[in-house]
Amino acid sequence: MHISTDIWTWVAVILTFGIFSFLWKDNPFYKFCEHLFVGVSVGYTIALTWYNSVYPDLITPLFRQGKPLYVIPFLLGLCYFFRFIPKASWLVRIPMGFVLGWASGVAIPAFFQTNVIKQIQGTLLSPALFARWDVFLWALISFIGVICSVLYFFFSREHKGALKVAAETGIVFLMIGFGASFGYTVMARMSLLIGRFQFLLRDWLGVIR
């Protein structure tokens, strides 16, 4: 056992125990760690945003290289600060409208590409699947699963009769998918916990290598 003499390791250990103490109940130790975590992360984000975005992507091209088009994002950005002036606070809606319009424009075609067109292509039953019986069987199961799952999300009809059967089959497929996803993600979380324990036992206490 070789306990670490590094001050920063000790700081990290104390903060780790502070966060873990929430498992017992809310306490001043946890509150301190939580506030420190939030404060440090905000400060870090501000510095990161300034050095990675604002300075290289706005200040440099606008004020150092004199590119006049950059005055548009500069003014749009400034509009956010009008929230502090009640009479002019409506100006905040200009960049908001711009951002929402831009976001929808970017998100909708990307959504169609990945969540609609590609998924349709992956679901289609094609002659190539006949090469092996097991491949075709899985493709057929996937085909039925997609049809039934989409029908579960059809809101314009009450789930009755054939639609009810299809929707209930769809929810079975969804739950099987969620179950698999749950197990997979829990394993990933376990690896995060193991990582923290490795830090405590190796870097701090030195009882493992």
Partner 1 sequence: MGVITLLLTLVLNQASPPVILARDTPDDAGKSITIRWQLTGEEVPEGLILERGDTTGCFQVLGVLSSTETGFVDEDVCDGVGYYYRLGAVFGADTVWSEPTPLVKSAPQWFNRARLNILIAMLVFFALVIYFIEHAKAGRYLFIRRIAGLDAVDEAVGRATEMGKPIVYVPGLGSVADIATIASLNIMGEVAKKTAQYDSALLVPNRDPIVYTVAREVVKEAYTRAGRPDAFRPDNIFYVTSEQFAYAAAVDGLMVREKPATNFFLGTFWAESLILAETGATTGAIQIAGTDSVFQLPFFITACDYTLIGEELYAASAYLSREPLLLGSLKGQDFGKLLILVVIVLSSILLLLSRISGLQFLSAIIKFFNVS
Residue 35: half-sphere exposure toward Cβ, Cα within 13 Å:
7
Q: Which stretch binds partner 1 (CB under 8 A): 9-17, 39-47, 51-59, 66-74?
A: 39-47
Asked if 154 interacts with partner 1 (CB under 8 A), we say yes
Measured distance CA(134)–CA(140) in Å, rounded: 10
Structure-block tokens of residue 64: 């150092």
Least distance CB 40 / partner 1 (angstroms): 8
Residue 23: half-sphere exposure toward Cβ, Cα within 13 Å:
6
| Number of other CB atoms surrounding residue 197 within 10 Å | 11
Asked if 164 interacts with partner 1 (CB under 8 A), we say no
Q: Which stretch binds partner 1 (CB under 8 A): 6-14, 53-61, 66-74, 89-97?
A: 89-97
- 145-150, long-range: CB within 8 Å, 24+ apart, which pairs? 145/170, 145/173, 146/119, 148/173, 149/173, 149/174
Size of the site for partner 1 (CB under 8 A): 63
Which of 10, 17, 51, 112 touches partner 1 (CB under 8 A)? 112
Measured distance CA(166)–CA(145) in Å, rounded: 9
CA distances (Å), origin 64, targets 74, 89, 95: 14, 30, 24
Please list every residue from 170 through 209 that binds partner 1, using CB under 8 A. 174, 177-179, 181-182, 184-185, 189
Structure-block tokens of residue 163: 């639609």
Asked if 135 interacts with partner 1 (CB under 8 A), we say no
Residues near partner 1 (CB under 8 A) are: 19, 22, 26, 30-31, 33-34, 37-38, 40-42, 44-45, 80, 83, 92-93, 96, 99-100, 102-104, 106-109, 111-113, 116-118, 120-121, 123-127, 130, 143, 146-147, 150-151, 153-159, 174, 177-179, 181-182, 184-185, 189
